[in-house]
Amino acid sequence: MKKIYLLALLIALGACMEQPSVQNEWHVVFKTDKDGTVLQGSKQKLMNAIRNGQDLKIGWGVKREDLSIEHLSAPIWLAILSEKEVMAHLDPQVLSNITWDSLAADYTNFDLLQQEWRVVLTTKGDFDAVWYDRKADTVIKRWPQKHRMTWFANGNVEIVPPPLFEK
Give the model confidence (pLDDT) of 95-151 as tens digits: 788 888 888 988 888 777 888 999 999 999 999 999 999 889 999 999 999 999 999
50-105 pLDDT, tens digit per residue, is 999 999 999 999 999 999 999 999 999 999 999 999 999 999 998 788 888 888 98
User: What's the distance, Cα to Cα, between the start and end of the chain in Å?
Assistant: 70
Average pLDDT, the chain: 86
pLDDT at 1: 56
142, 143, 148, 153: CA torsion to nearest 10: -10
Alpha helices by DSSP H, the chain: 2-16, 43-51
pTM for the whole structure: 0.80
Q: What is the DSSP string of 138-163?
A: EEEEEEEEE--EEEEEES-----PPP
pLDDT at 10: 44
In single-letter form, the type of residue at position 63 comes to: K
Burial degree of 43 (CB within 10 A; 0-12, 13-18, 19+): buried
Q: What are phi and psi of 51, to 5 degrees?
A: -65, -25
